[in-house]
Chain A
Amino acid sequence: MSEVIGRPPGPVLDVVKAEGAAPIFATGDEVKISMRSPVGHYRVPTFIRGKRGRVEAVIEPPAINNEDEGFGRNAGVKRHYYRIAIPLTELWPRYAGSKSDGLRIEVFETWLERS
């Protein structure tokens, strides 16, 4: 199971949000990509696993985990994808370009941990 941090307590509302409907992370959050190794299908490249980055944007609306979609699931809990910024120096120890060079990549909520 992924290490999803529990949702922070929100204001009391008349409407109860469906599970997964509220994004757990916000723009600017420091995050780390989880390290597990799925068999059969994944959409989180190996080269970003375990790396640290920052949430650049929360992508709306929430959607189904595309890793599950690969096996025909088209229903289930929807969660958010996040556009994550990761410096290339974080990805590649001997990166020779500019220190400001970076990667942007969409990552599903269940692959992110607070850093």
Chain B
Amino acid sequence: MGSHAHTPAPEVPEQKPGYYEIMETAVRELLVEKKVISAGEIRQMLEVMDTRTPALGSKIVARAWVDPDFRQRLVANGRKTLEELGIDFFENTQLIVLENTDKVHNLIVCTLCSCYPREILGLPPDWYKLKPYRARAVKEPRAVLAEFGTVIPDNVEVRVSDSTAMIRYLVLPQRPPGIEDFTEEQLAPLVTRDAMIGVVKPKVPSAKEKSQ
């Protein structure tokens, strides 16, 4: 089929895929052939997944920092509030937004697998899914936080949420002080993915950023 002089079709990469990629490709193609799923669904899901990155979470947190009504609704029902913004959930999960306060510092973990607020933050970092974090976050959270450079005073409770069922968590960090005049757009970049997992605090703006 086609001219033999041409190189293979662009969809076929030159480098042979590994064993597991071959398995994934074969499973997917068989399921499409049997009409169990469609190729279009996979493509569309990939597109949806690509739109879920920590930047989305940062915007949500920044809005909660500037808009008390939004914050209240977010904390009361995370999923419903985000669906109203057009952020749909493709898993049958709920979302609890955990507010960090002067008295409580939250962090999230999944000791049984890798539950994570993927609809908001995208795919988790490897370390979140590997043994050291999953084993130690529930047993010695302060030591874990210290490894991330985060020290929580003894008079602040460290609260670890371990996902085992349909609840997913997002940490709402405390807004850094001294930047009350920052807009949402200026605040969002301070909110890193790791701050929404709860292992670090938000970035503190530089003097230059404050003066802008």
> Using a CB–CB distance below 8 Å, which chain A residues touch chain B?
43-45, 47, 59, 63, 66, 81, 83, 88, 91-92, 95-98, 100-108
Contact = CB atoms under 8 A, between A and B. Distances in A.
Contacts of A97: 140-142, 154, 158
B138 A91 contact: yes
A59 B161 contact: no
Given A83-B167, A106-B164, A92 B139 contact: yes
A106 B166 contact: yes
A100 B141 CA distance: 12
B159 interface: yes
Interface string B142-183: 100000000000111111111111110000000000000000
Nearest to B162: A105
Interface of B: 94, 96, 111-112, 138-142, 154-167
Contacts of B158: 97-98, 101-102
Given A81-B166, A106-B165, A96 B157 contact: no
Nearest to B113: A43
A83 B167 CA distance: 9
A102 B111 CA distance: 15
Given A96-B140, A98-B154, A59 B94 contact: yes
Given A43-B112, A98-B157, A101-B158, A106 B138 contact: no
